Amino acid sequence: MGILDGKRILVTGVLTESSFAFHVAKLAQQQGATVVISGFGRMSLVERIASRLPEPAGVLEVDVQNDEHLDSLADRLREHVDGLDGVVHSIAFAPQAALGGSFLDAEFADVSTAVHVSAYSLKSLTMAALPLMPDGGSVVGMDFDAQVAWPGYDWMGVAKAGLEATSRYLAKYLGERNVRVNLISAGPVKTMAARSIPGFDQFEGVWDKRAPLGWDLSDPEPAARGVVALLSDWFPKTTGEVIHVDGGVHAVGA
């Protein structure tokens, strides 16, 4: 018997086996959930990755910048599940021109893309899924600590700060519908998304030196476990929270 027995969960942003989203989907199934996954773009790859999950999972394409995809999401989900108990937002993107030390030169078009995909989409995805959550549920997003400026992270850092603020406002407005909204602020892991960030290798030394509990850049499972815990009924009155799963780096200065 798992902590997600009987739950129906949408996990977005599944692209590779190294991704947080894949590990969340895997753990959720192992804990008893029925899982639907989504990706965008390379859908043949998403289908192939889905086949590596412990159990079959429905697969959808969801582009959070596409209103048609969002407007049809509830109907497309109904082909796989009769409702939802949880949504995992594991979606982020910034154009290269908004990363890598070009903060002062980035054009608004690139900045707006980063904010739209990485922050606003938490709201748009949640609202698209809400018709399938009449009795409430749990929305969990993947975050990276936005309290400080990171080398090369630039406008993605700003977008993550926006994500954190968005989660708090969603928590405020959706509480009356019994929908909890929380974030997991994960330490860095060598996912495909991380490798696309110029200067990502500079993060490694920080975690090696400062994490009180230690940190493995090749292991997404600790953060995935945090997501699964928040999807469960074990946090019934927790919302608007950012929970750090980073080995403790956020809590120490040096």
- CATH number of the domain enclosing 77: 3.40.50.720
Contact 36, 10 (CB under 8 A): yes
Does the residue 91 lie in any domain? yes
Q: Is the pTM of this model over 0.85?
A: yes
Q: In this structure, is residue 110 part of a structural domain?
A: yes
The answer to whether residue 96 sits within a structural domain is: yes
Residue 188 has pLDDT above 70, yes or no: yes
Whether 38 contacts 14, CB under 8 Å = yes
| Mean per-residue pLDDT over the chain, rounded | 94
Is residue 204's pLDDT more than 60? yes
- In the set 153, 169, 173, 237, the catalytic residue is 153
Question: Which residue intervals of 59-153 are DSSP H helices?
Answer: 67-71, 73-78, 108-115, 121-129
Query: How many structural domains is the chain composed of?
Result: 1
153 belongs to the catalytic site? yes
Give the Cα separation of 87 and 8 in Å (integer): 9
Cα separations in angstroms, 141 against 104, 107, 250? 28, 27, 18
In a domain, 190, yes or no: yes
| Contact residues for 32 (Cβ-Cβ < 8 A; gap 6+) | 1, 2, 3, 4, 5, 6, 7
The binding site for NAD(+) comprises 13, 63-64, 91, 160, 189-193
* pLDDT for residue 85: 98
Structure tokens at 128: 């698209």
Report which secondary-structure segment, H or E, holds 11.
Answer: strand 8-11
Query: For the segment 24-42, what is each residue's pLDDT rounded down to a tens digit?
Result: 999 999 999 999 999 998 8
Where would I find the beta strands (DSSP E) of 205-248? 242-245
90/26 Cα distance (integer angstroms):
14
Q: Across-strand partners of 142?
A: 184
Give the pair of three-digit tokens for residue 223: 């953060």
Across residues 110-129, what is the average pLDDT? 98
1 domain-assigned: no
| Helical segments of 175-200, H only | 192-195
pLDDT tens digits, one per residue of 53-104: 999 999 999 999 999 999 999 999 999 999 999 999 999 999 999 999 999 9
With respect to residue 171, please indicate whether it lies within any of the assigned structural domains.
yes
The answer to whether 16 touches 191, Cβ cutoff 8 Å, is yes
Q: Please give the annotated binding residues for substrate, written as ranges.
A: 94
Q: Which of 163, 173, 243, 223 is nearest to 23 (CA)?
A: 223
Task: Please pick, among 7, 123, 160, 209, the residue that the annotation labels catalytic.
Answer: 160
Is 254 a domain residue? no
DSSP type of residue 42: -
Determine whether 123 is an active site residue. Answer: no
- pLDDT bucket at 208, cuts 50 / 70 / 90: confident
Q: Specify if 67 maps to a domain.
A: yes
pLDDT of 112 over the 80 cut: yes
Range of the domain at 217: 8-202+211-248
